[in-house]
Each structure stands twice: as C-alpha cells, then as structure tokens.
Amino acid sequence: MLDVGCGAGRVALELQRRGLDVVGLDASPEAARAASLRGVREVWPERLEAVGERLGSFDTLVLFGNNVGIFESPEGVRAALEWLAERCRADTRVLAESTSPHFGGAPGLDRRYVRRNVERGLAPGHLRVRYHYDGAVGPWFTWVFLALRELRAASVGTGWRVESVARSGVGDPYVAVLAREALRGRR
C-alpha cells in the first residue's frame, strides 16, 4: 500500500498496526522525517511523480485526509488519474477521500466562498492555503475539495471508475474506491 501525502504518518501507522505493508510518501522532507520518527517503517520523501514506474508494485494507493485535493482541480485530478493508469497494475485500487464543498463539511469553505469560486471560474471546492506551525509559515498552495459527482466526472475516460463509496452523511467526508477499467493499450 502507498499512503500518498502521508504527512506525519497517522494513516500509515494505523495500517501498519493492522498488519498491512505500507510505504508512506510525502513531498515534504519534514513530514517524511516526522512519519519516520513516529514509527512508519518505510517513508519515501518525494513527490508522487518521482515514484514513476515503482507504482506498479502497489495494489492500493491511499489518498486520505482529502489528499485527492493535492491535484488542485478537477482537471488536475483527471490528469493525475490518467497518469496513474499508465503506471499502476490492472488490479490496483485508489482510496480517495474528499468532502463536498457544497454542504458545509469542507474546512474553510462556506457558501459565500464557494459562490465566489464559481463566479471566478474556479472549482467550487478550490482553496488556497498555507500552514502556520511553531512560528514557521509555509508557501501558498492550491487544494481542492470535490463533491462525489465531481470526482466521478473527473474519472470518466481516465482508466478508472468509482467502484464503491463509503460515507455517513451528505456533508461528511467520503471515501471513493476507484478501480481500473479495462482500456485498450493499458496494462
């Protein structure tokens, strides 16, 4: 299993505790170091793009903590899924977590913010953020929250389909299980 955007390792540690083999992946060297210090056995301090063909060794990619949002927009999610389809095995699953920006469950997004995004031609769940921690301030980056219908639309024609969804309520986070589609020319 590959925990994409593992941060300090919360998800990877739980997967390890359950007896699963997991590799934590985070583009932030500081986050990767924190995950290692907390006990994640294997952590790669690099961007997803750098993993390249090694993706073929994983049967599951975990994008919890709204980490499908790292792709910045529905178009970015679409491009990432196409890229992953070229590198992942036919039996690979992607566990993608997000929260709809439309029902008040996504942190930092209220109706006015969502409406302003739409007026500016952005995805409703588009968000610019940066971290503040212990006196340090990180650079601005783009994040996106996707409603399930937006994730489904972004996945069409990418080599992936939403196989199942786990959620408790309409405004709550959901996890979509994406499975590979059999497409000509793809392994």
What secondary structure letter does DSSP report for 140? P
Tokens of 129: 């953020």
pLDDT for res 104: 77
pLDDT for res 183: 53
Buried b (16+ CB within 10 A) or exposed e, 39-67: ebeebbbeebeebeeebeebebbbbbbbb
Residues 22 and 16: beta-carbon distance below 8 Å = yes
Using alpha carbons, select from 179, 183, 71, 173 the residue that is nearest to residue 127.
71
What's the distance, Cα to Cα, between the start and end of the chain in Å? 19
Using alpha carbons, select from 93, 123, 133, 107 the residue that is nearest to residue 4.
93
pLDDT for res 172: 84
Per-residue pLDDT of the chain (187 residues; tens, 9 = 90+): 999 999 999 999 999 999 999 999 999 999 999 999 999 999 999 999 999 889 889 999 999 999 999 999 999 999 999 999 999 999 999 999 999 998 877 887 889 999 999 999 999 999 998 888 888 888 899 999 999 999 999 999 999 999 999 998 777 899 999 999 875 444 4
Strand 93-98 and strand 60-63: the pairing is parallel
pTM: 0.89
Q: Which fold has domain 47-180?
A: Rossmann fold (3.40.50)
